[in-house]
Amino acid sequence: MKNKKYITENEIKKNNMAEIVTRCAIIGGGPAGYTAAIYASRANLAPVLIEGMQPGGQLTTTTDVENFPGFPEGINGTEMVMLMRKQAERFGADMRTGQVTDIDVSERPFTLTLDNGDVVKAQTVIVATGASARYLGLPDEQKFMGLGVSACATCDGFFYRKRTVAVVGGGDTACEEAVYLASLAKQVYLIVRKPFLRATKVMQQRVMDTPNIKVLFNCNTLSLYGGEVLEGAQIVEFQGTDNERVFDLPLDGFFLAIGHNPNTDLLKGKVELDAAGFVKVQWPTTQTNVPGVFAAGDVADPHYQQAVNAAASGCRAAMDADRFLLEH
């Protein structure tokens, strides 16, 4: 990499920056990162976990989690990840709030530079930076987040039993979520901006065969409305044509199913990514193409993106890191 600026030991001393040395650095503070920290701590790897700007990850944007084993009455998403964090701290994980601004994986120990200027030198790195749901960019999306707006039907669908919801998207994920929600909700609208579905024929047929799903083709969402909670969406049909029509669609829930963006900007050109930007791992391990660098959770999972799966992969990543250190 041309013109790369390496931070020297003298620079660290001169600028009063801290150099943290560890056998295992974990980037990301969601279920994958915290679980990796629990297992790495118990393996005496003395992990340092850099939590990022949103400790807890996507679970902090949801309300109650009812599909994670061990919580029969459900649990608030933020509370659950904070319990994971506390458990990792109990075993000695070193938690650092902040963001990794640069990573050098060209040689071991790997070098992580934090936004406060501190430097972490690590024999292994576990990347657990997660993925962020794509949103439409509407002004009220964030206002109603957790109050009617969701990007995970599997997580939040149960709260909309016998109610009216909409799913935005026309691919397999949107169709799957619409069919799933139809088993719970009274009415499901599938808002599709094109005059056709992009989903596979099998998924299209499932949608068409489900009586309480109505597909709104050639439609875009202009805005959301409501008081303390979501009450509906303003929809435009045939936008920009002579047949353009704007109407209000009363809703209790509004689900985004237009994909996720993996948080991998930091890794571009440093570890191998797939076409969508997710980290490629050497299944069944969590090993990336760089020996000693592992990936866990949604950042390496374009398919499932569930908290329980992320936690499981965090366990695997810590065990892979421990095994790597024993062999190197």
Token readout for 212 is 């309480």
Among residues 155, 301, 320, 322, the one annotated as catalytic is: 155
In the numeric block, which tokens belong to residue 289? Answer: 């193409």
The single residue of 152, 175, 219, 322 carrying the catalytic annotation is 152
DSSP code, position 159: G
Both structure tokens of 253: 């829930």
175 is catalytic: no
Count Cβ atoms within 10 A of the Cβ of residue 224 and give its class: 0-12 exposed, 13-18 middle, 19 or more buried. buried
Separation CA 28–CA 298 (nearest Å): 11
The whole-angstrom separation of Cα 56 and Cα 310 is: 12
- Maximum Cα–Cα distance for the chain, whole Å? 69
* Active-site residue, 219 included: no
Q: Tokens for 52?
A: 């990022």
User: What is the rounded CA–CA span in Å between residue 320 and residue 285?
Assistant: 7
Q: Which residues contact 313 (CB under 8 A, 6 or more apart)?
A: 32, 286, 296, 297, 300, 301
Distance (Å, whole) CA 162 – CA 181: 10
Which residues in 97-208 belong to E strands, given as ranges? Answer: 100-104, 110-114, 119-122, 125-127, 131-133, 149-150, 164-168, 187-191
Amino acid symbol at 239: Q
Considering 24, 94, 156, 252, which one is annotated as catalytic? 156
Q: Is 265 assigned a catalytic role?
A: no
Taking the C-alpha atoms of residue 88 and residue 48, their distance in angstroms, rounded to an integer, is 11
214/107 Cα distance (integer angstroms): 55
CA 120 centroid distance within chain:
24
Active-site positions? 152, 155-156
